[in-house]
Chains A and B, each alone.
Chain A
Amino acid sequence: MNAVEKVTLEQVQDVATLANLELSPEELPRLANDLNAILGYVEQLNELDTTYVLPMAQVSEVLGIQPSLAGESLRADQVRPSLDRGAVMAEAPETDGRFFKVPKVIER
C-alpha cells in the first residue's frame, strides 16, 4: 500500500465493470469518495510489519486443524437425492423447464 493514492473516477468505473455493477453519474463520484475514505482508513494496517506472518484464510488454520488431503474430512462421495428440478427451475426468471433462458450471447 503506497501512501494513500486517491482512487480516480476512472478506476472506480473499471472496478464497477469488473463487478458487473452499473453506476449512475450521481453514484460514481459518491462511491469514489466513500472508497477513498475507507481505503484511507485501512491504510493504518501498514503500521504493522507482517513480513513473517502467514496469512489466515480460515479459522481452522489457527486451531491447527488442516483439511485432510485424503479427503476423509469430507463427506462420503455417494449418490443421494438432490433438490427437485422442477422446484428449482420454477424460481428462474425465464426458463423452458429444462434450461435457463437468457438474452442472446453471440452477436451475428
Chain B
Amino acid sequence: MADAVHPELETMTLDAARSAVQEGRLTAFALAEQHYGRIGAVDPGVNSYLALSRERALEQAEKIDAAAKAGGPLGPLAGVPLGIKDVLVMRGAPATAGSRILKDYHPPYDATAVAKLEAAGAVLLGKLNCDEFAMGSSNENSAYGPVQNPRAPGHVPGGSSGGSAAAVAAGLCIGSLGTDTGGSIRQPAAFCGVVGVLPTYGRVSRYGLIAFASSLDRVGPLARSVKDAATLLEVLAGPDPMDATSSAQPVPSYNVEAAKPVSGLKIGVPEEYFGEGLDPELRQAVEKALDDLRAGGCTVEKISLPHTRYAVPTYYLIATAEASSNLSRFDGVRFGLRSAESNTLAAMFRNSRDEGFGAEVKRRILLGTYALSAGYYDAYYRKAQQVRALLAHDFLNAFAKVDAIVCPVTPSPAFKLGEKTDDPLQMYLEDIYSVAASLAGICGMSVPCGTTAAGLPVGVQVLAKHFEEAKMLRVGAAIEAAQAG
C-alpha cells in the first residue's frame, strides 16, 4: 500500500502538476490514478470525499493526455486534479449537499463553475463533504459524517467547506471548489492551513449551486498557494447568462496581478477585530503578517468598522430567512427523498422534510420562517437588512482610505470535534470575523500564516473592495512569501 499513498501529492502545486503534464513527465491519467490511490489509502481517515467521479475524471485525463501528446494548446488547468464541494452539481455524480434529503439525487447538469474548470482542462475527481446545505462551521452537520482535520487530528476542519479544505490539505486533490455564505471558505481554509478565496458577490457564477442564502452565497477556490488560487479564480470569474447576479466586470489576469509588488499599498487594521475573544497566538500571527507587509513597503494604519459587533446577529437573521425560502423546494415531489408513509400531500411534505433534514437545518428554517412571518418581518428581517447597509458602508468608508484590510479569520484556531455541537449560539459566534465581509459583498481570503505552539494551522484574512481581488491577492501573496522567507 505504501506506493498508493503518494506523499509527494501533499505539496504538489497546480503549476507543477500542469507543467509535468504538458511536458510529458507525467500523464494526466497517471496523476488522476495516483490521487485515487491516495484517496483510497488516506481518505477513510479524513472522510473528505462523498463520491468519486472516476469515469468522468479518467475520460477527461485521457483527452488531456492526447492533446498534450499532439502538442496542441492546453488549458490553464490541463490535467490538474480538483475536488468539488457537494453543494455544486456535476453531471454523472450524486449531489447530496451533505443532506439525507438529497441522498440519491443525480443532477442532470453541470454547475457553470464545474463546467468552466473542466473546459480549462481540470480533472474532476469527485464530490467533497460539507455541512448540510452549507450550514455549519465545523463540518459536523453533514449527514455523511464529520471530516477530520488532516493537519490537526481530533479537530474539526472547519465548515461548511470542510471537505474542500481537508482534501487540499491531505493531498487528495490539488485544489477544490468551496462555497462561502458567512465564512465557509475562509474559516476551513484557515483551520486546515490552505488558501481560500471568497470572490466578490457576482464575480463567479452560481448556476448549479444548491442555494442556501441567495444574497450571500458565493463560489470560490481553495488551493495550496495564493498563485494556485489566483489561477483557479481567473478560470472561474466572469459573467454567465445562466446567473443574473453574475457580473460583467472585466476579469484581469489574477496571476499576473498577484505577482505585483505590494510596495505603496495602504493596509487597514480594524480595531474591532482585535477585541477580547481573540486568541493571543492568532493576534501574534496577524501582527507578524502586518510587520511583513510593512517590510514590503506597505503603510499600515488603524481603521474602524464601527458596526462589526452587529454582523453576526444580522447575518443569522438574513441567512436563515433566505434559507427558509430556498429550502422550501425540498418537498419530496420532484427530486430527493420522499417519505414512504404519507397518505396526503401535506403529510408527505412534512414527513419527507422531517426524515430528510438534520437538526441545524430545521433550526435555521424555523428561525428564518419566524423572522419572515407576519408581525415580525419589520422587527427582524427588515431591521437586519438596514444594519446590513450600515455594515456595507463601514467597509466602503474604510476602502476610501485603504487598499486592503488585514485581520484574523476566526477568534481561535481549529476546535475539537464535538466541542461546540451542543450550543448553536456558540457555533454562530465562530463566524464573528467573517460574516461582515459576506454581508457587504466584498472579496476576502484566508492565507496560511504558520501554526500555533500546539501545531494548529493559523490563517490571516485579507479583505478588499468589491471586484478588487487583484489587490487582495497581491497582499495575500506578499504575506505568503514572507512566511517562506
Contacts and interface: CB of A to CB of B under 8 A. Distances in A.
A7 B370 contact: yes
B370 A15 contact: yes
Contacts of A88: 108
Contacts of B202: 59-60
A20 B353 contact: yes
Contacts of A1: 379-380, 383
Contacts of B373: 15, 18
A37 interface: yes
Contacts of B307: 48
Nearest to A14: B373
Q: How big is chain A's contact interface, by range?
A: 35 or more
A57 B334 contact: no
B344 A50 contact: no
A25 interface: no
B331 to A, nearest CB: 7
Contacts of B201: 59
B108 A84 contact: yes
Interface string A52-81: 011111111111000000000111000000
Interface in B231-287: 241, 244-245
Q: Give the interface SS of chain A, mostly helix, strand, loop or mixed.
A: loop
A93 B382 contact: no
Given A1-B379, A100-B334, A105-B345, A38 B424 contact: yes
B215 A58 contact: yes
B366 A15 contact: yes
A12 B365 CA distance: 11
Contacts of B334: 91-92, 100
B396 A18 contact: no
Q: How big is chain B's contact interface, by range?
A: 35 or more
Q: Give the interface SS of chain B, mostly helix, strand, loop or mixed.
A: helix
Interface stretch (B26-34, B140-148, B174-182, B308-316): B308-316
A34 B421 CA distance: 13
B313 A19 contact: no
Interface string A8-29: 0001100110111111000100
Interface string B357-396: 1010011011101100100000110111111111011001
A83 B110 CA distance: 11
B314 A35 contact: no
Contacts of B11: none
A34 B108 CA distance: 38
Contacts of B386: 48, 50, 53-56
A73 B389 CA distance: 23
B384 A37 contact: no
A15 B316 contact: no
B349 A35 contact: no
Contact of A102 (B245, B333, B390): B333
B389 A62 contact: yes
A83 B335 CA distance: 15
B420 interface: no
Contacts of A91: 105-108, 334-336
Nearest to B365: A19
B298 interface: no
B466 A63 contact: yes
A19 B332 CA distance: 14
Nearest to A20: B349
Given A45-B387, A91-B108, A37 B310 contact: no
18 contacts: A12-B366, A15-B369, A19-B366, A21-B362, A35-B367, A39-B367, A44-B310, A45-B313, A45-B314, A53-B387, A54-B389, A56-B388, A59-B441, A59-B466, A75-B241, A75-B244, A90-B108, A105-B344
Interface of A: 1, 7, 11-12, 15-16, 18-23, 27, 31, 34-35, 37-39, 41-42, 44-46, 48, 50, 53-63, 73-75, 83-84, 87-88, 90-94, 100, 102-105
